[in-house]
Amino acid sequence: MNAPAKETTRDTALPGTALALFAGEELPFPPVPEALAGALQSQGRAWFATRPMASTPYDFHHFLNEIETQPDLADYAVVGFDGHGTNSWAVHFYMVAKGIALFIKLPWGGAYLEPGPARVQITEMFDWAAALLLQLQRAEVAGKVPPGMRLHVAASRFDHAGWRWVGAGQNAAQTPWNPAGGMRAALLQELEEMIAGRAFADGSNLQAQIAL
């Protein structure tokens, strides 16, 4: 079984950089864009952010609520490890930027967690996040994402998972989430369809709209 969140990162001095923090856990670093990665600063014993935060990363819903109530929030990123007790620990990667609000929270560091399978799941999720950000960038460059439209993605094994598009001026709190089942493949496919001009950013089919 796994010791809670490696005592060297939680209970002693932080490593010098966020990269070192993840390397110390033998985990890949999340795909933070270069501009944000360069602004990461230590905010706690085992997590970094690009700006001061009103909450620690484990409070997942604080960050979801923040983007719902503050759609013009400045770009930011949060990475690292946070939790409480014996088994309530997680790795976090949160990022808000043009076109995206991405919140990933996966089990890591709990006393009863098997690190091998957890490491595989984290690696797969970070790889998917990198592919998602690349596809979204391609869609934006192709002019397929309307101005002000933002993709919200929640991927937590503890709290909430799902995705939705939120347009400029749209009430995010009243915008339903798509279910999490098959989310990773569905989002990459939807972005591919958008790039090809076969779908809109809300997931609706372009040909069906033309037929109407």
Identity at 11, one-letter amino acid code: D
What is the reported pLDDT for 201? 72
In contact, 31 and 133? CB cutoff 8 Å: yes
pLDDT of residue 56: 96
Q: What is the pLDDT of residues 115-128, one digit of tens each?
A: 999 999 999 999 99
Residue 208 confidence (pLDDT): 33
The pTM of the full predicted model, rounded to 2 decimals, is 0.87
pLDDT of 189 reads 96
Low-confidence spans in the chain with pLDDT less than 70: 1-16, 202-212
The pLDDT value given to residue 110: 87
Contacts of 9 (CB under 8 A, 6+ apart): 15, 21, 24, 25, 45, 46, 81
The pLDDT, as a whole number, for residue 204 is 54
**Distance separating alpha carbons of residues 51 and 75, to the nearest angstrom:** 9
